[in-house]
Amino acid sequence: MAELRKNPLTREWVIVTTEPPHFAEGQDGCPYCPGSEHRCGPELLAYRDPNTPPDTPGWWVRVVPSGVSQFDSEGDVQRHDEGIYDTMRTVGADEIVIETPTHDEAALVADAQQSEDALWACRERYARWCAPDLVKSVVISRLYPAHDPEHPHWRLLALPVVPQRLWELAKGLEQYYDYRGRCGLCHIAEADREDGQRMVVENRHFVALAPYASMYPYELWIIPRRHQASLACAQRQEMHSLARILADAMRALKGALHNPHCVLTFMCAPCNIEGMEHFHWFLRVLPNVTAPTRAALKYGICVNPVAPETAAHHLRRSAVALLASRP
Ligand SMILES: [Zn+2]
Ligand SMILES: [Zn+2]
């Protein structure tokens, strides 16, 4: 059983699922490694050798159902009251983008082409799921290093609702546009590039910076330099640049924080809702998220003990040291 439930006080929607993962029983090992294709359900997209049939080895990026929650890809959400509460069916999608056949996070970071292809698959699935009217948001995220299983993968959720924080960001960008007449993220990227204090690394299409009001120590935003509301607008050469700046940022974090655990999330425009042309997608990286989350729970507001300017300084030094040590 899976359903969406609304917290009547905060208006936050939550997926409640009571089913265990649906990997085929009786087999050990990683369900995302080549040779285990049958354990994940039919593949939804694959970049593979054209001489190989679906659901067999021969792929280098593969998208499959998550096997965790049960989403129907079509039909009505059947929103209804349950006493004083509000609930609806989980219509949409819950998918896994398996980024590489190799069960090795470090190998993926080192292979920019592989990482680019995986990011392109995320973009393809985002565009696929933005199209139907019933979908209001597509959330794509991953743990770094990957966990459960420890095979590099993104998780994509296509939802009939917009998560509260994403909605607040969308409304904030809309109000910023109304007030200043320009996109807030374009403005931040431009102003912080000029200022330099919070910049970590940049390339032709992206900047990576520690945002001025970072909620968490060493929080990073990787922002496209060209205004684009939707990830579906990103072009191939931009995904090429994203793969490279993401690898640089992860290496800098690894050097500065000694192998941190990170949460990476694409902050993408809500879908099929008017007024979202002022949104500007970006990739948010939160390192070592557990400790600050505990602090947030303790104080009721995020308390960040590391100034973003200090974090950016350490990360720049880490990135420069890595460049200098390359043969
Ligand atoms: Zn694996
Ligand atoms: Zn913009």
What is the predicted pLDDT for the residue at 147?
86
Ligand 1 centroid, distance to 252 Cα (angstroms) = 25
Q: What ligand is nearest to the CA atom of residue 187? A: 2
CA distance 165 to 270: 11
Residue ranges matching CATH 3.30.428.10 in the chain = 2-159, 164-325
Neighbours of ion ligand 1 (CB under 5 A): 30, 32-33, 103, 151
Q: Kindly report the length of the chain.
A: 327
Ligand 2 centroid, distance to 78 Cα (angstroms) = 35
Domain 2-159's class?
Answer: alpha beta
Ligand 1 centroid, distance to 100 Cα (angstroms) = 9
Ligand 1 centroid, distance to 263 Cα (angstroms) = 19
Closest C-alpha among 236, 246, 248 to residue 115: 246
What is the predicted pLDDT for the residue at 154?
95
* CA angle at 324 for the pair 321 and 326, rounded to the nearest 5°: 110
DSSP character string of 282-312: EEEEEESTHHHHHHHHHHSS----S-HHHHH
* CA angle at 189 for the pair 186 and 190, rounded to the nearest 5°: 85
What is the predicted pLDDT for the residue at 127?
95
What is the predicted pLDDT for the residue at 249?
95
What is the predicted pLDDT for the residue at 21?
60
Ligand 1 centroid, distance to 293 Cα (angstroms) = 29
What is the predicted pLDDT for the residue at 292?
55
Cβ contacts of residue 112 below 8 Å, gap of 6+? 240, 243, 244, 247
CA distance 50 to 297: 51
| pTM of the model as a whole | 0.90
Q: Which residues pair with 232 in a beta bridge?
A: none
Ligand 2 centroid, distance to 111 Cα (angstroms) = 29
Mean pLDDT by 10 residues, the chain (327 residues): 84 78 65 91 94 96 83 77 86 92 89 95 96 91 89 93 91 95 96 96 97 92 96 96 95 90 92 88 86 57 77 89 70
Interhelix angle for 184-195 vs 164-180, to 10°? 80
Q: What is the 3-state secondary structure (H, E, C) of 276-289?
A: HHHCCCEEEEEECC
SS3 168: helix
What is the predicted pLDDT for the residue at 295?
56
Q: Which residues pair with 144 in a beta bridge?
A: 262
Ligand 1 centroid, distance to 300 Cα (angstroms) = 39
- Asked if 152 and 107 count as a contact pair (C-beta separation under 8 A), the reply is no
What is the predicted pLDDT for the residue at 293?
59
What is the predicted pLDDT for the residue at 298?
56
CA distance 62 to 83: 42
Ligand 1 centroid, distance to 33 Cα (angstroms) = 4
Q: What ligand is nearest to the CA atom of residue 225? A: 2
For 86-140, where are the alpha helices, taking DSSP H only?
Answer: 105-110, 112-130
Name the CATH code of domain 164-325 (choices 1.10.3720.10, 1.20.1740.10, 3.30.428.10, 1.10.10.10).
Answer: 3.30.428.10
Which structure tokens are listed for 36?
Answer: 């285990």
For 181-307, where are the alpha helices, taking DSSP H only?
Answer: 184-195, 236-257, 290-299
Neighbours of ion ligand 2 (CB under 5 A): 183, 185-186, 227, 280
